[in-house]
Amino acid sequence: MSNPPSQMNLSPSTRAAQAMHSMDQRTGAVVPGIELASTFARNSDYELRDGFIYGRYGNPTTRQAETVISSLDGSAASMLFGSGMSAFVALFETLDSGDHVVLPQVMYHGGLDWVRRLEAKRGLQVTLFDATDATGLQNTMRPDTKLVWIESPTNPNWEVIDISAAAQLAHEVGALLAVDCTVSPPVTMDTLALGADIAFQSATKYLNGHSDITGGVLSFAKEGPLLDEVQLLRQLQGSVMAGFEAWLLIRGMRTLYLRFERASTNALQIAEHFENHPMVDRVLYPGLAAHPGHDIAARQMTGGFGGMLSLLVKGDEVLARDVARFTQVFFPATSLGGVESLIEHRKTIEGPHSLVASNLLRLSVGIEDVRDLIADIEQALERAQP
Return the SS3 of 316: coil
Helix, strand, coil percentages (3-state) for the chain, rounded to 5, are 35, 15, 45
Active-site pick, 108, 206, 257, 285: 108
Whole-angstrom distance, CA of residue 310 vs CA of residue 157 = 7
Q: Distance of alpha carbon 308 from its chain centroid, rounded?
A: 11
Return the SS3 of 281: strand
Return the SS3 of 9: coil
Q: In this structure, what are the phi and psi dihedrals at residue 151, rounded to the nearest 5 degrees?
A: -120, 145
Return the SS3 of 228: helix
Q: Distance of alpha carbon 92 from its chain centroid, rounded?
A: 17
Using CB atoms within 10 A of its CB, is residue 1 exposed (0-12), middle (13-18) or buried (19+)? exposed
Number of H helices and number of E strands within the chain?
A: 13, 12
Active-site residue, 146 included: no
Active-site residue, 180 included: yes
For the chain, what is the largest distance between any 2 Cα atoms, rounded to a whole number of angstroms?
A: 77
Active-site pick, 73, 99, 162, 180: 180
Active-site residue, 205 included: yes
* Under 8 Å between Cβ of 80 and 216: yes
Active-site residue, 285 included: no
Active-site pick, 99, 146, 205, 376: 205
Active-site pick, 15, 56, 254, 282: 56
Whole-angstrom distance, CA of residue 109 vs CA of residue 354 = 8
Whole-angstrom distance, CA of residue 267 vs CA of residue 367 = 10
Other C-beta atoms lying within 10 Å of the C-beta of residue 372 = 12
Would you name the residues annotated as active-site residues? Answer: 56, 108, 180, 205
